[in-house]
Amino acid sequence: MAEHEDKGTGLSVGQLTALMEEHFPQLQEGSGRLEIEAAGGGGARVRMHQDVRMLRPGGTVSGPMMFKLADFGVYVAILADRGTAALQAVTTNMTMNFLSRPAPGDLIAQVKLLKIGRRLAVAEVALHVSDAPDLVAHATATYALPPPARTP
């Protein structure tokens, strides 16, 4: 369970999807259509649908595609927790360990917010192919959150 400094105004999967389409239409361009499957409660589950353009020579899913999915998942989890006030959140650090060669298929990222404070959010991401239990990659990420709105 994530450690929360204060309660946010989270968003539903439908609201998050609409927000991504409005503010980041480029996310669906190119390879691997992204889908938000679940969000809230200190985490998210996002999917990158299989696309031949996400494969590198040799038939494995490319590292940049896994990184894209992990980063997207953390952003979704933060928005689900904090609402539109966190739209200006940005990645400050992400480390990814590639654990095994992923076979072609949908990529799933399971995100867990480890801590979300006033200025920083820290998360971990487990990536696997479709519903296979073995991890293909593990990431940790830190996001800088926008400063809280000042009240007069």
Is residue 3 over pLDDT 70? no
Confidence band, pLDDT 50/70/90 cuts, at residue 6:
very low
**Is 149 domain-assigned?**
no
Counting residues of the chain whose pLDDT is more than 70, the rounded percentage is 86
Domain that holds residue 88: 3-144
| Position 65 in a domain | yes
- CATH for 135: 3.10.129.10
Q: Does some domain include residue 150?
A: no
Q: What is the DSSP letter of 92?
A: E
Q: How does residue 1 score in pLDDT terms, banded at 50, 70 and 90? A: very low
Number of domains in the chain: 1
Q: Quickly tell me which residue has 């609402």 as its tokens.
A: 83
Structural domain contains residue 152: no
- Joined together, the tokens standing for residue 122 give 């820290």
70 within some domain: yes
- Domain contains 43: yes
- Phi, psi angles (nearest 5°) of residue 77: -60, -40
Whether the pLDDT of residue 23 is over 50: the answer is yes
